[in-house]
């Protein structure tokens, strides 16, 4: 089987968020243990596994995502990476519908190479800032929100861009406050630099201290910042060391995530599920 490493939410190699992508033969998924072993071997934030579905259904491909330690309910960058592989290899033309644990997710390519994902908008619920979060994060949040089951994070707004960029959290301590981790965000100091808000994402509960660029987090960031800034269409910068840009479009119960991707590595996977 061919396996690829794709950098997502970037237009250049060695930036954005790398994901493993494996298009499977047959009409089902191999055993979960093998999928987890492959994801552990790839050792990126997520590895995506997809197989083709019969024609005429609600979706074209079935899709699952694994971190090196567990399966996750939703992943934006690995979905973008999978759509990129399908389109650049000629395996699928036009919009592709993925059947996932988060429902049917659609990825639509544009003529310029960008891909737009149609994801469910995260339901934000204001919550009191939990005791200890400021100490674990290293900064005092000005507001906090639960992001619902699909995302599974605590979203915290911080005072300014400098505070977000300067975070050096205690990752072990952060694990106590949500199912997956913490999204830290602030308004951009200068939107003329090409982004309206920025974020950093820390996911200790799924084995990722800091995620480079997180599509799923932007389904929560989009409604938060669209409400704050009064516009449905925005651009978010994830200020990890690799960095990446996500264009967000709030459409009620759906959020559009637009970005680019670059295939960096392509190789042969010899250790198949029957090995």
CB of 117 within 8 A of CB of 79? Answer: yes
Q: What is the mean pLDDT of residues 221-228?
A: 98
Predicted pLDDT of residue 26: 86
Predicted pLDDT of residue 38: 98
Question: Per residue in 124-162, pLDDT tens?
Answer: 999 999 999 999 999 999 999 999 998 999 999 999 999
Predicted pLDDT of residue 274: 79
Residues in a beta bridge with 153: 181
Predicted pLDDT of residue 11: 95
Is pLDDT of 89 > 70?
A: yes
Question: Per residue in 163-215, pLDDT tens?
Answer: 999 999 999 999 999 999 999 999 999 999 999 999 999 999 999 999 999 99
Q: What is the mean pLDDT of residues 217-230?
A: 98
Catalytic residues: 46
Q: What is the mean pLDDT of residues 221-236?
A: 98
| DSSP string for 6-51 | EEES-SSTTSSEEEEEEEESSSS---HHHHHHHHHHH-SSEEEEEE
Predicted pLDDT of residue 275: 60
Is pLDDT of 74 > 90?
A: yes
Predicted pLDDT of residue 24: 96
């Amino acid at each position: 089987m061919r396996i690829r490493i794709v950098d997502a939410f970037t237009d250049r190699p060695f930036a954005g968020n790398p994901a493993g992508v494996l298009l499977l033969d047959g009409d089902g998924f191999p055993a979960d243990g093998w999928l987890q072993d492959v994801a552990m071997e790839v050792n990126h934030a997520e590895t995506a596994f997809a197989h083709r579905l019969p024609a005429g259904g609600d979706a074209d491909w079935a899709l699952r995502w694994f971190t090196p330690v567990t399966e996750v309910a939703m992943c934006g960058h690995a979905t973008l990476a999978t759509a990129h592989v399908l389109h650049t290899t000629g395996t699928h033309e036009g919009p592709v519908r993925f059947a996932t644990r988060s429902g049917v997710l659609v990825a639509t390519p544009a003529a310029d190479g960008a891909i737009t994902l149609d994801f469910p908008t995260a339901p934000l619920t204001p919550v009191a800032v939990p005791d200890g979060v400021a100490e674990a994060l290293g900064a005092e949040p000005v507001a906090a929100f639960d992001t619902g089951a699909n995302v599974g994070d605590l979203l915290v707004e911080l005072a300014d861009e400098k505070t977000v960029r300067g975070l050096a959290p205690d990752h072990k301590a952060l694990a106590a406050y949500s199912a997956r981790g913490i999204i830290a965000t602030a308004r951009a100091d200068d939107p003329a630099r090409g982004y309206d808000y920025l974020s950093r994402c820390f996911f200790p509960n799924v084995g990722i201290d800091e995620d480079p660029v997180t599509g799923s987090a932007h389904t929560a960031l989009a409604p938060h910042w669209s409400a704050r800034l009064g516009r449905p269409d925005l651009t978010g910068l994830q200020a990890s060391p690799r960095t990446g840009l996500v264009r967000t479009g709030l459409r009620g119960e759906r959020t559009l995530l637009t970005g680019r991707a670059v295939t960096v590595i392509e190789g042969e996977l010899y250790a198949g599920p029957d090995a």
